[in-house]
Amino acid sequence: MKTPYKTSLTIIALITLGFLLWYIYGMNKVPKVVNKSTIESEIKDFGYKINDNESKYYKDTFKQLEQLLNQKDYDDNTYRDLIAKLFVIDLYSLDTKINKYEVSSSQYFYPSKQQMHQNKVIDTFYNIIEDNSYGKRTTSLPLVSQVTITNTEETTYKINDLDYSGYQITLDISYAKDLGYDTKGNITLIKEDNKWWVVSFTGLKEV
C-alpha cells in the first residue's frame, strides 16, 4: 500500500517527466521567426530609410538617391524623379514584404496623407499578402524589375485650400514575372520643406 508521501513523489516525478518531454520534443516544434526586417541604411538629413529585405533594384535606386543628396548642388529634377521611382518600386514589390503592414512606401507620401495612404494600402492592396515571418509563404507576389518615366508635366495640387506647384509623372512598370498587376502609373509630387512628396498616385493596367 502506497503512503501519501510516496504518492506525492510519484505525481511530482510524472509532472517533471512530462515537462521534460514537452521541452525536448514540443519546444522544437514551435515555429521560429526566420524573416524580419531591420533598417539597412538611412539618409539622415532627409529621413529616408531602407530595410535590408528590399530588392536589389530598390536598393540600387535608393543608393542613387543617397549619392545624389550627398552632393552640395544636386539636380532637383533628378531628385524628384528618383522619389517617384522609389515610391512605385516599393509599393508594387509585394514579394519583399514580410506582412501586409510593411507599407514602407508611406515615407514618400505627404506627411498629412501618410496614414491615409497606409490604411488604404493595407485594406485594399496588401491584404492579399500571406505572412512570411516563418518562411512558409506559398503564394506568388509581384517584384518590380524596372520603372521608366515616360512623361512629366507641370501641375498644381490643392491641400487645405492652398495651391501647390508640382509635377504629374507618368511611368511604365515592369516586373520580374507578369502576375497581372498595374503596368502604368500616374503620380503627382509637390515640394515642401526642401523635400519632394507624393500627394497622389493612380495605377493603371495597359489596355
Torsion of CA 188, 191, 196, 197, to 10 degrees: -50
pLDDT of residue 204: 81
Q: Which CATH class is domain 39-204?
A: alpha beta
Lowest-pLDDT range, 7-21, 80-94, 125-139? 7-21
pTM for this prediction: 0.84
Q: How confident is the model at residue 9 (pLDDT cuts 50, 70, 90)?
A: low
Would you kindly state where each structural domain of the chain is located, as residue ranges?
A: 39-204
pLDDT of residue 207: 46
112-165 pLDDT, tens digit each: 999 999 999 999 999 999 999 998 899 999 999 999 999 999 999 999 999 999
Strand partners, 45: none
Residue 167: pLDDT over 80: yes
Q: What is the 3-state secondary structure (H, E, C) of the chain?
A: CCCHHHHHHHHHHHHHHHHHHHHHHHHHHCCCCCCCCCEEEEECCCCEEEECCCCHHHHHHHHHHHHHHCCCCCCHHHHHHHHHHHHHHHHHCHHHCCCCCCCHHHHHECHHHHHHHHHHHHHHCHHHCCCCCCCCCCCCCCCEEEEEEEEEEEEEEEECCEEEEEEEEEEEEEECCCCCCCCEEEEEEEEECCEEEEEEEEEECCC
24-34 pLDDT, tens digit each: 555 555 566 65
**What value does the mean pLDDT of the chain take?**
89
Cα–Cα distances in angstroms (integers) from residue 25 to residues 11, 29, 79, 192, in the given order: 21, 7, 55, 58
pLDDT of residue 16: 73
Residue with more model confidence, 3 or 116: 116
Contact assessment for residue 66 and residue 82, using Cβ atoms and an 8 Å cutoff = no
Q: What's the average model confidence in pLDDT over 56-79?
A: 97
Q: What's the average model confidence in pLDDT over 186-207?
A: 91
Residue 4: pLDDT over 60: no
Residue 176: pLDDT over 60: yes
Q: What's the average model confidence in pLDDT over 176-181?
A: 96
pLDDT of residue 21: 58
**161 torsion bin: left (phi>0), alpha (psi -120 to 50), beta (else):** left
pLDDT of residue 36: 78
